[in-house]
Structure 1
Amino acid sequence: MAPVTLASIDQKLAMAKRCSHEGVVAGAKAAAVAGVAAAVPTVSTKQHFNTLRSMLADAAAGLAYFVVADKTVLAQARKNSFKDA
């Protein structure tokens, strides 16, 4: 086991920040796509835009954000753990 140094801690912190940033970006892209995909059929109907439909579109976008962000962060962590081994 290698000794813990300030440089190794800084490197791990930088890697964690990069992984979380990639997760946020991927999640935001997925949320935008899911929001548009859920909103287009809702808005294109001739009915009034009711609260339930808007809540469903928001829930779909929020769910997509968290699922994709979590998967991206986990994939980056797995890739980095194999790199360290």
Structure 2
Amino acid sequence: MSSTASYAEKLALAKQRSHEGVVAGAKAAAVATVASAIPTMISVRTLPWARANLNPVAQAVIVSTAAGLAYFIVGEKTVVASARRSSFGNSPA
């Protein structure tokens, strides 16, 4: 029975760590969206090259790519960091 309880504890811990990664990734994506949208919009309005070559689809791709990358990178780093903390905490001295 202890292996079942241990498995349930590990599963609950994994779900918690995964949720932490999702929350951290969502926060990073929100920041990256703003951080990439503002310069993109300013450059499209002021630079002749950007005005001529970056249509609305290209602008959306730039912003969504930055947000997506931030989400996955920060989420993965958060999950890996928490896994390291829990594995070092459970290792014998």
Q: TM-score, normalised by structure 2?
A: 0.80
Runs of 4+, deviation exceeding 3 Å = none
Larger radius of gyration: 2
User: Could you say which structure has the higher helix fraction?
Assistant: 2
What do residues 33-64 of structure 1 show as CA deviations (whole Å, max 9, x unaligned)?
A: 00111111223453586221210110000000
Any conservation in 2 of the 1:23–1:69 contact (CA below 8 Å)?
yes
1:51 matched to 2:49? The reply is no
Percent of aligned positions that are identical: 52
* Structure 1 Cα separation of the partners of residues 59 and 39 of structure 2: 10
* Structure 2 Cα separation of the partners of residues 5 and 51 of structure 1: 53
* Structure 1 Cα separation of the partners of residues 2 and 58 of structure 2: 53
Alignment correspondent of 1:80: 86
Aligned mate of 2:75, from 64, 69, 74: 69
Alignment correspondent of 2:37: 39
Alpha-carbon offset, residue 15 of structure 1: 0.6
